[in-house]
Structure 1
Amino acid sequence: MSEPLPDHLGAYPLPTLPALSVPDPRSLLDPDPQPPRNGLRCGNPQCGWQVGAPFPGAPTRLTGYCRNCGTRYSLRPQLKVDEQLDNGRYRVLGCVAHGGLGWVYLAEDTRLKNRLIALKGVLNPHDPRARAAMLEERDRMIAVTHDSVVRILDYVTHPGEQPVDYIVMEFVGGRSLREVIAESGPGGRPFGPRGPALTLDHVALYGGQVLSALQALHDRGLVYSDMKPDNVIHHGSRVVLIDLGGVQRAGDTARPPVITHGYASPEVAEGGGPPTVAHDVFTVGRTLAELVDAVAEPPAAGLGPTSLRRLLERATADQPRDRFTSAAEMAGQLDGVLRELAAAGTGHRHPAPSRVFTPTPVLLDDGLGAVPGLAHWQHRERAQYRDPGPVSPVLRHGRPEPFRVAVGLPVPVPHRADPAAAALRTLTPRDARGAVRQLESLLGPAEESGYGSVEVLLHLCRAHLRTGDSLPAGDAARAVERERAAARLARAAEALDARVPGGAAHDWRIAWHTGLCHLAAHDTAAAEREFRRVHAALPGEYAPKLALGYCAEQRDALADSERLYRAVWACDPQPDSAAFGLARIHLARGNRDEAARVLGLVPAMSLHSDAARIAALRIRAARLSPGPEGLPDADSLLTVLRDLPQAAPALDAGAGAGAGDGQEHARLTAELREWALDWLRCVRRDPARAADRERLPELASELFCGRGTGGPGPQEPPTEQALRTALAQSFRDLAPQSTDRALHARLLDLSHAVAPRVWFRNGGPGRAAGRRR
């Protein structure tokens, strides 16, 4: 049995990283700091030998001269404890560690109440390249202000035999992600003895902050290059990137990249290419994957872990064009994944508008949330209301047909770089055909040949599908509109391939619209393959999951469909279609109560909250299968009596035909009375329904007993005679709604058929004869 959806309807704050208490920074001081184990390259650019490397059986020489070219080197820390810089402003407390290029010291700023700061110098002051790199780091990073990037505060030079420059930075205390990984595992508590274990939520939170910091660098044309767990500090409740020595201009081929094998992208580690944004995205993916591997506790139920895995797979794809195009794009998808994970862990919804899709006003439902029209009774026979069998039909679950889903799914947001993006936002067509005409007006000769605005062609694809959906199901013109939609899509793919060879195969928009065209052709298997491609590219989006949930439902894979719909429920600000999908799944399993409950959780501010309320009422009262087991119990009918007054205002002010005059209310009342008559006949005859018979007095109401029927009044338990009389009155009330004479007559005929039998007694003395009316 599936877990119930949470009762909480609103948006709850997302979880945050645990706040780490910062240990005394002096405890980090290294009494015997050692340089890199394998030494460094000689400071002579023309040499390339290693200096300071140990020899077997001999101690490491920390100072000396290169054995190849004679260039001097020194790998010892240049600053001593209590040494002062900048005329006494900075007092050295000791050496903390070394990064890829320089020693890091802990010091005090004596002018600011001994505030702790960090000093960073080069490992080998005799290496001009290292000194130049540190100057570049200072010049590049002094203007970068971001909460997750260590701040550069000052720059000083320490005189001596060999003057050495130092960058003054804020001191960031805490634990590196490398330490978090090391202290995780079974029973591990990386956030302190009383803190929680590492979870996937924490991994997503780490990733979001790291990506935000990288985007700040990318916006300035810089790349970080050397992302790895060692270079990220968990400080308080945030993370901070340290060791900025590898930061360089994106695509810079003049400077050798600072990378760490195992985290670097293939094109940089193996191909020797310069670091790029795609390289940074890869390094973040590898860092997060290592954190995921350190999570010991099993993840909460739901689709979140799978979505996170898909996100990391895309981030670490071998080919750069298969990765996320920016840190911001990856961060947006990671935010969606975090919301899925949080919903499973906290039991709260965490919705947020998508930056990639916009919702449509279409509800993916086929009648479950609507009061039936008069045609619902058009083919009923009189005998149905007299035979001992069921009076009412089984409730239809309301699964929409694929063409309807194709036009009801969320719509992709136009790409900002498209030349027609601004014009597309101004279109206001009255209908689908009007949309086609307006969009065609934006096409020029280039667009007609397939090499202009891709977005106009994709909009035309959807407009043709909407035109087809507006036609009757058997109309041949539907197929014509599908073919036109496919032709527009083919031109859009050609336009992408003309700009970048193979571009269409890597653009999720093409896969999305291909899936829509397959749905319109009722080929849900082919559509599902396309939507899986979209989900792989956009693992944090709810729209592909909604599409995949429907495709799984179509092939009766109810468990898969439920997981997908639940993921949509957790993140979609308008979860109506997902709620109806979940209700259909519960109905298919015969779970009346859960189907009604999930519809009752649809937020009141949602577009289709009234439809959800009506659907819940119908489910509570309905016959779900032909046998007695398909009828509700007394509790369900009592819930109908309780909830009907809340639904009545929406019915009286409905948006359909007959709005505002109570016609919808009259039709719903007739349907509820039909089901109640079925239920009452079963309760009277079925020994297993004794508990329901005892609760009949609780169902005393005008709905089930009628008013002015001559039988029990609204305050008395319902009887079959009273229900028949009330249902007969309902049919008489419905007849005037019909403008079709045959249907009008049919409703009156049903009224006579369902009305209770009345016997008149006649005859002379000593005998009696019966005549039935």
Structure 2
Amino acid sequence: MNAAMNAAMNTAPACARTDCSGRIRDGYCDRCGHAPGPAASRPTAGTAPPSRPSPHPTSSSASSPVSARVPWGTLGAGLVDIPPVPLRDPASAVLADPHVPEHKRFCGSCDAEVGRGRDGRPGRPEGYCPRCGTRFRFTPALARGDLVAAQYEVLGCLAHGGTGWVYLARDREVSGRWVALKGLLGTGDPDLLAAAAAERRFLAAVEHPNIVRIHNFVQHFGAGYIVMEYVGGRSLKEIVLERRRAGESPPLAHVLAYGLEALRALGHLHDLGLLYCDFKPDNAIHTGDQLKLIDLGGVRRAGDPDGPVYGTVGYQAPEIAERGPSIGSDLYTVARTMAVLSFEFTGFTGKYRESLPDRDRVQILKRYGSYDRLLRRGAHPDPAERFGSAAEMAEQVAGVLHEVLAGGGRPRPPFPGRFEPGPPPAVAGPGVLPGAAWVADALPAPLLDDPGPAGDGLRSAAGLIARGEHEPAQRLLAGLAGDWRAAWYLGISALKAGEVATAERHFDRVHGLVPGETPPKLALGLCAELRGDHAAAARHHEPAWRAGGYVSAAFGLARARFAEGDRAGAMEALAAVPAASGHHADAQAAMIVAALAGRDPAGVGSRELAEAAERLENLGLPAARHHRLAVFVLDAALRRLRARPHAPSPAGGGTEILGVQLTEPGLRQGLERHYRALARLAGSRPERVALVELANAARPRTVV
């Protein structure tokens, strides 16, 4: 690097980290990616060099038909409260010293560095590009008091964007309302002029609460200006930098809510056949209780092969240079923006320019696996692996948000996603898990309400699997590999055939494609149980229960915790099943088992016995089930009595449990009575004989 380039590079503020030689550019170090400390200068917006587009739009091969099921409305679809950003006095936003730092000066035609210092002398803000000869000007063309088009009185500069300065002005003809005038770089570059004209043309037709409005387009001394709605508030970039200076990131629920709003705006543009191209934290303003997209200079028509594409390193999709922008590349920018907002994304413009860090390296990704999968699909390097539409991605963002909000509280009702309500819950208690086929029958089915060949094929495959015809079902599903529901049914088929590892691979694929849906987590939890990996089972079951409200997951979580030795955690999961649930009694009965099963008799407390007996007496279970649990409790009490003959009675000083004396003869009499009651209810002679023999064995010993 020559001396001139060194001088130009050194005009940017140095990184505050002692072990880093980088410079602060666009609010982050260009080497380590960290945000600046409190003393760092305020960043200004920039733009990446344009690239040539391709007319080929992107479509996701892993998508199924989806409609916008997210309730567009308040910030975060009404799921989360974010404090509104108060509207500040617009005049206070005017820059006292408007200038463009040297490290942000590039030729608008060839992207060469211009206006840079040399040999210790500052660079000139106006001149000609040494590479292509195009004129550049980074000084404001308008000053305070200028009257543009005999209507707009300029107060000063607000910011410098990719296509020039943005000025604050008052509209003299419309009640003195505040407006923003967006001018062009003083280069005469045809691409920049075309971009400005495009912004005027596209915005004039766009009416959406999350997109800045255009009012007019005027000329002043040969220069063009777009007159836009003034949007007060704070950019997401300002919000995240303030948080980082305090050593934290915005709450994940806020990040997901911002993502929903951005997708709402982009979805509207996509419906109009338009692409945004340059979404990033700089271009989204939190104003009041809304998020608004600003700086639509890069908006273009989908499939348009002409004109430049404006984007920003670290946010722009990797295929842009060869294939041009698409719906998929727009969605990529949203996923990258959420990543930058939610954790300190070191190296997002360098090492991780086109990738994400490993999940284990980022705490928020380790904690929320669904969020990790959401980002990895949204920002997948392969456009075909991304979401197919803003509505599809928004539905999954809302599902992940639902899970995040449920993380610390009571279970929430299921989010209205892409699955049927489901079969009756699988309520096997601690220590009990039937086979893989039982697990398959406990899982809900995806919605198959779309007409056409795909829906018909999936419905046919589901019928074949239900009849046990797995090979023809798998052949049929192989032809529907572009639909995640095919992977789901392949998992169901594998489970019914007892192929747990294969089923788990299919369900993992589904979870990656629809990370906001709950049933894939339930399926993965059940598969982990079948493999004996109880820690993994608990990780999947907990969000399936908390966020999805699946009672099957509550029982699965209890089983996993019980198997891991967390008896109290198992009982906590079961206790959370609400009284209104049809399986509240099942959960209460399972709590009795969780409290006493597998215990060292000497370690069973008197209070635990009393609580188990009281819980059983209050349940009102069917006779056979009541007698079985009574045998279980009385047997535990008898074992405890033998191990601790002088132990205290249950709490309260009582000398009875389930109506029998807490003595060996009393407990044996109780066991005999319940065994004989079960024998009378037995469904077969062998079962009856076995129960009578148990009753005889339990009968108190007498001396004649």
TM range, smaller chain = 0.7 to 0.9
By how many angstroms is 1:598 displaced? Answer: 1.4
By how many angstroms is 1:739 displaced? Answer: 5.5
After superposition, the C-alpha distances for 1:722-763 in whole angstroms (9 at most, x for unaligned) are: 34334444344444434545544554555455344566xxxx
| Residue of structure 1 in register with 2:638 after alignment | 681
1:466 and 2:466 are equivalent in the alignment: yes
| Residue of structure 2 in register with 1:615 after alignment | 590
After superposition, the C-alpha distances for 1:186-217 in whole angstroms (9 at most, x for unaligned) are: 7436xxxxxxx534333323322222221121
- Structure number with the bigger relative contact order (C-alpha 8 A, sep ≥ 6) is 2
The count of residues paired between Structure 1 and Structure 2 equals 611
Distance 1:722 1:245, change over 3 A: same
CA contact (8 A) 1:137 1:245 kept: yes
Given candidates 403, 406, 421, the residue that maps to 1:343 is 406
Q: Which structure 2 residues correspond to residues 109-148 of structure 1 after superposition, within 5 A?
A: 109-110=171-172, 114-124=176-186, 126-127=188-189, 129-148=191-210
Question: Tell me, what secondary structure is at the counterpart of 1:183?
Answer: helix
| Residue of structure 2 in register with 1:100 after alignment | 162
Question: Tell me, what secondary structure is at the counterpart of 2:228?
Answer: strand
Question: Tell me, what secondary structure is at the counterpart of 1:362?
Answer: coil
Aligned equivalents of 1:84 and 1:509: distance in 2? 60
| Residue of structure 2 in register with 1:413 after alignment | 447
| Residue of structure 1 in register with 2:656 after alignment | 700
Aligned equivalents of 1:679 and 1:148: distance in 2? 64
Aligned equivalents of 1:628 and 1:100: distance in 2? 75
After superposition, the C-alpha distances for 1:428-472 in whole angstroms (9 at most, x for unaligned) are: xxxxxxxxxxxxxxxxxxxxxxxxx233333333334434xxxxx
Given candidates 445, 453, 471, the residue that maps to 1:486 is 471
| Residue of structure 2 in register with 1:261 after alignment | 313
Aligned equivalents of 1:719 and 1:491: distance in 2? 65
Q: Partner amino acid for 1:462?
A: A
Aligned equivalents of 1:286 and 1:742: distance in 2? 66
Q: Partner amino acid for 1:614?
A: A
By how many angstroms is 1:321 displaced? Answer: 0.3
By how many angstroms is 1:246 displaced? Answer: 0.5
Aligned equivalents of 2:456 and 2:545: distance in 1? 31
Distance 1:238 1:692, change over 3 A: farther
By how many angstroms is 1:645 displaced? Answer: 5.2
Distance 1:281 1:694, change over 3 A: closer
CA contact (8 A) 1:364 1:400 kept: no
Aligned equivalents of 2:650 and 2:437: distance in 1? 48
After superposition, the C-alpha distances for 1:22-60 in whole angstroms (9 at most, x for unaligned) are: 554333323443468545446xxxxx7989756857876
Aligned equivalents of 2:671 and 2:652: distance in 1? 18
| Residue of structure 2 in register with 1:538 after alignment | 514
By how many angstroms is 1:600 displaced? Answer: 1.8
By how many angstroms is 1:277 displaced? Answer: 0.4
Point out the structure with max Rg over C-alpha. Answer: 1
Aligned equivalents of 2:589 and 2:163: distance in 1? 68
> What RMSD in Å do the two structures reach over aligned CA positions?
3.6
1:308 and 2:376 are equivalent in the alignment: no
Q: Partner amino acid for 2:665?
A: Q
| Residue of structure 2 in register with 1:169 after alignment | 228
After superposition, the C-alpha distances for 1:674-720 in whole angstroms (9 at most, x for unaligned) are: 23432333343323x6444364843636x332xxxxxxxxxxx5433
By how many angstroms is 1:66 displaced? Answer: 8.8
Distance 1:149 1:690, change over 3 A: farther
By how many angstroms is 1:577 displaced? Answer: 0.8
**Identical columns (%):** 37
Aligned equivalents of 1:28 and 1:118: distance in 2? 12
Aligned equivalents of 1:83 and 1:186: distance in 2? 38
| Residue of structure 1 in register with 2:578 after alignment | 603
Q: Partner amino acid for 1:337?
A: V
CA contact (8 A) 1:228 1:287 kept: yes
After superposition, the C-alpha distances for 1:530-555 in whole angstroms (9 at most, x for unaligned) are: 22222222222221211111222222
Aligned equivalents of 1:125 and 1:636: distance in 2? 82
Distance 1:325 1:71, change over 3 A: closer
Aligned equivalents of 2:132 and 2:457: distance in 1? 65
Q: Partner amino acid for 1:517?
A: S
Q: Partner amino acid for 2:666?
A: A
By how many angstroms is 1:354 displaced? Answer: 4.1
Distance 1:301 1:607, change over 3 A: farther
Q: Partner amino acid for 1:490?
A: R
Question: Tell me, what secondary structure is at the counterpart of 2:329?
Answer: helix
Q: Partner amino acid for 1:704?
A: G
Given candidates 271, 274, 286, the residue that maps to 2:336 is 286
Query: TM-score if structure 1 supplies the norm length?
Result: 0.71
Question: Tell me, what secondary structure is at the counterpart of 2:319?
Answer: helix
Q: Which structure 2 residues correspond to residues 505-654 of structure 1 after superposition, within 5 A?
A: 506-573=482-549, 575-620=550-595, 622-624=596-598, 628=601, 632-644=604-616, 646-648=618-620, 651=621
CA contact (8 A) 1:225 1:279 kept: yes
Q: Partner amino acid for 1:602?
A: V
Question: Tell me, what secondary structure is at the counterpart of 1:209?
Answer: helix
Aligned equivalents of 1:739 and 1:675: distance in 2? 20
In the alignment, structure 1 segments of 5+ residues that lack a partner are 1-11, 43-47, 190-196, 369-395, 420-452, 468-480, 497-503, 652-663, 706-716, 760-769
Q: Which structure 2 residues correspond to residues 326-405 of structure 1 after superposition, within 5 A?
A: 326-344=389-407, 346-366=408-428, 368=429, 397-405=431-439
| Residue of structure 2 in register with 1:247 after alignment | 299
Given candidates 666, 669, 672, the residue that maps to 1:722 is 666
CA contact (8 A) 1:458 1:489 kept: no
By how many angstroms is 1:76 displaced? Answer: 4.7
| Residue of structure 2 in register with 1:454 after alignment | 454
Aligned equivalents of 1:615 and 1:342: distance in 2? 28
Distance 1:69 1:320, change over 3 A: closer
By how many angstroms is 1:226 displaced? Answer: 0.9
Distance 1:572 1:740, change over 3 A: same
| Residue of structure 2 in register with 1:672 after alignment | 629
